[in-house]
Amino acid sequence: MLLCLTANHRNASLDVLERLSVGAPTATRALVQDEIFVSGAVVLATCSRFEAYLDIDEPLTGGEAVAVESVVEAMAQASDVSPDLLRASVAVHQGADAAAHLFAVTSGLESVVVGEDEISGQVRRALEDARTDGLTSGELERLFQKATHTSRGVRNRTQLRGAHRSLVRLALELASSRVADWAAARIVLVGTGRYAARTVDALRARGAGDVHVFSPSGRAEGFAVQRGLLPVADFAAAAAQADVVITCTADAVVHADAFVPGRRMLVIDLGLPRNVDPAVGEVAGVELLDLETIRLHAPLEEFSAHTDARAIVGDAATEFAADREAGPAITALRGEVLKVVDDEIARARARGAGDDVEAALRHLAGVLLHKPSVRIRELAVEGRIDDVRGALELLHGLSVEIPGAGDDELWATA
d(CA 30, CA 165): 36
pLDDT at site 258: 92
On whether residue 410 sits in a domain, the answer given is no
Series of mean pLDDT values for 10-residue runs along the chain (414 residues): 86 84 81 77 84 77 68 86 89 88 90 77 92 91 92 79 66 89 96 90 93 93 94 94 92 87 93 88 94 72 58 83 79 87 89 87 88 82 81 84 48 38
On whether residue 372 sits in a domain, the answer given is yes
- Structural domain of residue 386, as residue ranges? 310-396
Q: Tell which residue, 273, 275, 274, 204, has the closest CA to residue 235.
A: 275
17-36 tens-digit pLDDT: 888 888 878 887 887 877 66
Residues 117 and 264 in one domain: no
pLDDT at site 409: 39
pTM, full prediction? 0.63
Amino acid at 239: A
Is 47 considered catalytic here? yes
Residues 54 and 33 in one domain: yes
Residues 134 and 60 in one domain: yes
Exposure on the CB side of residue 269, measured as CA atoms within 13 A: 25
Query: For 351, phi and psi rounded to 5 degrees?
Result: -95, 5
- Give the count of domains, the chain: 3
Beta pairing class for 286-289 and 265-269: parallel
Residues 271 and 332 in one domain: no
pLDDT at site 303: 44
d(CA 288, CA 265): 9
pLDDT at site 411: 39
Out of 45, 47, 100, 332, pick the active-site residue.
47
99 neighbors 143 (Cβ within 8 angstroms): yes
Asked which of 138, 157, 176 is the last residue of a domain, the reply is: 157
Residues 173 and 283 in one domain: yes
pLDDT at site 300: 47
Q: Tell which residue, 97, 54, 157, has the closest CA to residue 317.
A: 97
Secondary structure (H, E, C), 269-310: ECCCCCCECHHHHHCCCEEEECHHHHHHCCCCCCCCCCHHHH
| CATH code for the domain in which residue 247 is found | 3.40.50.720
Angle of CA points 343, 349, 355, to nearest 5°: 105
Residues 241 and 175 in one domain: yes
d(CA 193, CA 47): 14
